Copies of this chain bind each other. A is one copy, B any other.
């Protein structure tokens, strides 16, 4: 059997490393320590679902110059050996007495001068995927070296997608769209919601998803109370609105968009809400430009929803995506991240429909110098009715 090829040519990863190193230089960082699945995948191309097991930490160190170093459990040596990564150091994990910490300490000590600085993502939307006690051991072993926040350093690089990355998200979106097109085959009055979720996941796989990392949704009269639930055996009823949302994965890249369907017939309220969500998206897609801030997009969406007669709901109205289901920035009133060409974004207007219910609509796009280009095939303007 042939060895599996890299997702992208090594040049893609070398470019990412160089851009991270520019950011490190600007911030005076001697090394970057990455522990989270998305960051490790971004630098190395190491693609596995093994992150599902919390047993072992995985480390990638990006030095100020030169190639990154993988410091990983031996079980990953074969797979990491098939990526572009030139230096791979392993230990037998899990080890209750030293789970890679002495190896990581030695690696960082060799790359960072005594008075140097190690960057680590510590800010919004990050977490340290290693035991906290081990991190504290690492930090004190490496003193007087300082650990400082490198969230912005990583985010400013990851948020600008290459053409190759954009093509992958577009492919994931096309898979999502093919699966959504099959919803009328399995969503109808009387069908249990968990069966619909299951059929939808099968449809995503049959449409070409490598795997389905996220499916959520809801159903109810004129909207749903919740958009993050798993499904129970409750049956769809005539006149309800069903929403399905998915993060399907192709070569490690996500789509993240949803679709609404009326079961049997559409109520006036649901139709009106859907039209307002659709039209607000249409309006804001035309207005997106580099230089707007995330909070400006929130305001544009909120204003567009009001203009089209909908009551905007609280919470964020969109976000970035790519190697994770959701990435920064967040379209909220408080996120001032400037939009830049190359960002892949989700527009996700959400409105209240009464009685604690909401409806939400979502599209994915890439921002270009001259405006937005949709990546998800556009939803129908009118709320589709299924199982009629």
Contacts and interface: CB of A to CB of B under 8 A. Distances in A.
A54 interface: yes
Given A92-B315, A319-B55, A48 B332 contact: no
Contacts of A388: none
Nearest to A147: B132
Interface residues of A, number: 90
A49 B324 contact: no
A95 interface: yes
With most chain B CB atoms within 10 A of its CB, the pick from A2, A94, A325 is A94
Interface in A121-140: 122-133, 135-136
Contact of A76 (B198, B210, B228): B228
Contact of A75 (B205, B227, B325, B334): B227
A52 interface: yes
Nearest to A206: B202
A210 B201 CA distance: 9
A356 B78 CA distance: 9
15 contacts: A1-B237, A49-B213, A49-B215, A52-B324, A52-B325, A53-B324, A75-B227, A76-B228, A78-B225, A78-B229, A79-B228, A94-B330, A128-B128, A197-B210, A211-B215
Interface in A84-131: 92, 94-97, 99, 120, 122-131
Contacts of A38: 54
Interface of A: 1-5, 36, 38, 47-50, 52-55, 57, 74-76, 78-79, 92, 94-97, 99, 120, 122-133, 135-136, 149, 151, 193-194, 197-198, 201-202, 205-206, 209-216, 219-220, 225-232, 234-237, 240, 247, 314-316, 319, 324-326, 328, 330, 332, 334-336, 356
A126 B95 contact: no
Contacts of A314: 74, 92
A54 B122 CA distance: 13
Contacts of A3: 234
A315 B75 contact: yes
A123 B131 contact: yes
B194 A210 contact: yes
Secondary structure type dominating chain A contacts: loop
B325 A234 contact: no
A375 to B, nearest CB: 18
Nearest to A228: B50
Given A123-B133, A149-B133, A198 B210 contact: yes
Contacts of A55: 125, 319, 326, 328, 330
Contacts of A316: 94
A201 B123 CA distance: 35
Contacts of A97: 334
With most chain B CB atoms within 10 A of its CB, the pick from A52, A74, A324 is A52
B330 A214 contact: no
A127 B123 contact: no
Given A133-B149, A228-B75, A96 B210 contact: no
With most chain B CB atoms within 10 A of its CB, the pick from A123, A124, A247, A332 is A124
B1 A193 contact: yes
A262 B193 CA distance: 38
A78 B226 contact: yes
